[in-house]
Amino acid sequence: MLRRTVLISLFVSWSILTAILLAGLVFRDRSVSSLAVDNIQTPLKNTITREESQLSNTGGTTPLTSEELARHNGSNDCWLLIDSKVYNVTEYLPRHPGGVFIITPFCGKDASIVFQTKNGEGAHSSRAWDLLHLYSLGDLNGTTTQERIDPTRQL
Amino acid sequence: MQKTDTKTHGEKVPILELVSSSMFRHRGITAVILFVVLPVLLWFWYAPPWNVTGSFIPSVKYLGQVFGVLGFSLFTLALLLSVRIPLLETIFGDLASAYRFHQTLGGLSVIILAFHPVFLLVPYLQLSNTEAALFFLSNGDVAKLAGLAGLFVFEGAIILTYFFRLPYHLWKTTHRFLGLAFLFGAYHAIFISGAIRTMPVLQWTFIAFSVVGLLAVLYRVVFHRAVVKRSPYRIASIESLGSSVTHLVLEPLKEPLVFRAGQFVYLNFRGTSMRDEHPFSICSRENANKLVFLSKSLGDDTSRFLHLKPGTRVEIEGPYGRFSFRNGGKRQLWIAGGIGITPFLSLAASLPEGYNVDCYYVVSQEKQAIALPFLKAAVSDRPIRIRLWDTSRSGIMTTESLEKDNIDLSTFDDFFVCGPVPMMKALQRAFVRRGFHPSRIHSEVFGMRPDS
């Protein structure tokens, strides 16, 4: 009985792990950016068109103040301050490997240390940092555009 | 000084031997649960499960983390139970039971640890396959790599144990790699960057477990030979009895071994072609000066038995085991299958007055009943009725066939079974189905390997 369970368990676990490895390495993402453009309802598209939008949008800027940051404090509208930059991670929340609830307590707050240390669990990968930058709104005390805040308006 | 009881059997017997085997079993299970549950409870204390409910991804990750904690604890305990120390017999009843726990916990541990990385990968899958693959390949994180390496070695050693019938010495060598797997696993458990870093008590518990596990490995692989006391004997005579059975008589070079009927010892034939020590039931009367053994060649080292010469030095480790008539009432049914007759030879020769025993010697053919003359000699004038059961004529032994053989099962206090594992399991199940409490069915299964 135990012998059969060991056999089935090892077969199932290694089938899954091998499939993930093959899928991940053979059909490797071209880059975080392309992943975001192709697969995610993406703020990157907004990033790509950022220059154009800034050129075309002379009005509708929003100041990235501490007060504005604090207003975006829920899972439906989550901004984070990380290393003096403000990020709108609302769309990314459901995809976070650690789950939504790891992040939501820090929505509208300074999450620099939390992000750097994975809330005490270690450090995020460089890919995670790359991914984070796709959601950047700008520097704290700078300004951002409505299109960067709500990318769907741009699409 | 050991406590004794003089009321039950009219002779001085260590009180522990009077406790039923089921109590030992419960004590063993309690010890296992306490050892394994402690780290999991600590995890729950630091990271209560209700904090992650309501969301699939964190729940899967949480499950993966709990599997890691549980798997490592089981692995530690499995290693601890591979150590031959008297304390294990006190907790688990006998060494064979401790080894059965060792096998079961090792199997459970590998099952649980196999899914530890799978569950931790799932959250990354929703991000991208590549993120998940990179997470699995550890991204250069030494602690993760150590965990992965440990899992590979652990699974490899378990696969070799369960699915390849390697020669005993080769299996033993591959099994030693479990120590390496544990070393990697311990490094992973202590140094992994994760939630455990925020759980100091659990982290210290894992450090303690790692030390205990590594000490168990060191003791088993390195120090056991030096630390354990062995009694020096030499071969007085050795002869083949046919049917691959060898009759071996050993005489002491110093003080003779003190043992109880039904116990077994490890024989080490140093300086001979027999590389490994093997467990053998003693066939002699309790505390006899000369020790008699019957060995059936199993195709490994034991097939080299006949090449041994009289005068060869033998070192004996033990005795171990609690397969004894003292663990039961006065009316007993003994069932020996094939070479499983060996402990009964000792029990029969040592049975004191007041017992009433029926002893079945089950063989596939009458000519295979090699030990019958020894059994008759051991019984002498004691109240033991010997019954030969030839399965080629009488078929497989069942409770029904026993009753047809004029055995009234309801008259027996206890049942003692020793023989091939399938036979013992079938009889144990049959007796339980007939309403006998498992604690009244005593069996002697021995072997570190799950297939032994």
Question: Helix (H) and strand (E) counts for chain A?
Answer: 9, 7
Would you state the pLDDT for residue A29?
Answer: 58
Tokens, residue B423: 């036979």
Tokens, residue B3: 């406590």
Q: Is A48-149 CATH 3.10.120.10? A: yes
* Residues B127, A95: C-beta atoms closer than 8 Å: yes
Of A9, A94, A127, the CB nearest to B114: A9
* Whole-angstrom distance, CA of residue B226 vs CA of residue B315: 12
Would you state the pLDDT for residue A82?
Answer: 92
Q: How many CA atoms lie within 13 A of B38 on its CB side?
A: 17
Q: How confident is residue A32, by pLDDT bands cut at 50, 70 and 90?
A: very low
Diameter over CA atoms, chain A: 72
Q: What is the pLDDT along chain B (452 residues), one digit of tens a residue?
A: 333 322 233 333 333 443 444 555 677 788 888 888 999 999 998 888 877 655 677 788 889 999 999 999 999 999 999 887 778 877 887 777 788 889 899 999 999 999 999 998 887 776 677 777 877 777 677 888 999 999 999 999 999 988 887 877 788 888 889 999 999 999 999 988 777 777 889 999 999 999 999 999 998 888 887 788 889 999 999 988 877 888 999 999 999 999 999 999 999 887 777 767 788 999 999 989 999 999 887 656 666 677 788 999 999 998 988 888 988 899 999 999 998 999 999 999 999 989 999 999 999 988 888 899 999 998 888 889 999 999 998 899 999 999 998 889 999 999 999 988 888 889 999 999 988 888 889 887 655 454 44
Taking the CA of residue B243 and the nearest CA in chain A, the distance in Å comes to 31
Closest CA to B46 of B252, B243, B206: B206
Of A5, A20, A120, the CB nearest to B129: A20
* Residues B107, A5: C-beta atoms closer than 8 Å: yes
Taking the CA of residue A32 and the nearest CA in chain B, the distance in Å comes to 9
Closest CA to B416 of B353, B343, B332: B332
ipTM: 0.71
**DSSP result, B10-68:** SS-EEGGGGS-HHHHHHHHHHHHHHHHHHHHHHHHHHS-GGGSTT-HHHHHHHHHHHHH
Output the pTM of the full model: 0.70
Would you state the pLDDT for residue B309?
Answer: 86
In chain A, residues with a C-beta closer than 8 Å to the C-beta of B123 are: 96-99
Q: Which DSSP letter does residue B85 get? A: -
3-state SS class at B324: coil
* Whole-angstrom distance, CA of residue B399 vs CA of residue B335: 12
Q: What is the pLDDT of residues B281-333, one digit of tens each?
A: 999 999 899 999 998 876 566 666 777 889 999 999 989 888 889 888 999 99
The residue ranking higher by pLDDT, B132 or A15, is: A15
Closest CA to B159 of A142, A128, A8: A8
* Residues B123, A97: C-beta atoms closer than 8 Å: yes
* Whole-angstrom distance, CA of residue B320 vs CA of residue B192: 40
* Residues B55, A125: C-beta atoms closer than 8 Å: no
Taking the CA of residue A63 and the nearest CA in chain B, the distance in Å comes to 31
Q: What is the pLDDT of residues A71-81, one digit of tens each?
A: 998 878 899 99
Q: Measured in whole angstroms, how far is the alpha carbon of residue B397 from the centre of its chain? A: 25
Helix, strand, coil abundance in chain A, percent, nearest 5: 55, 15, 30
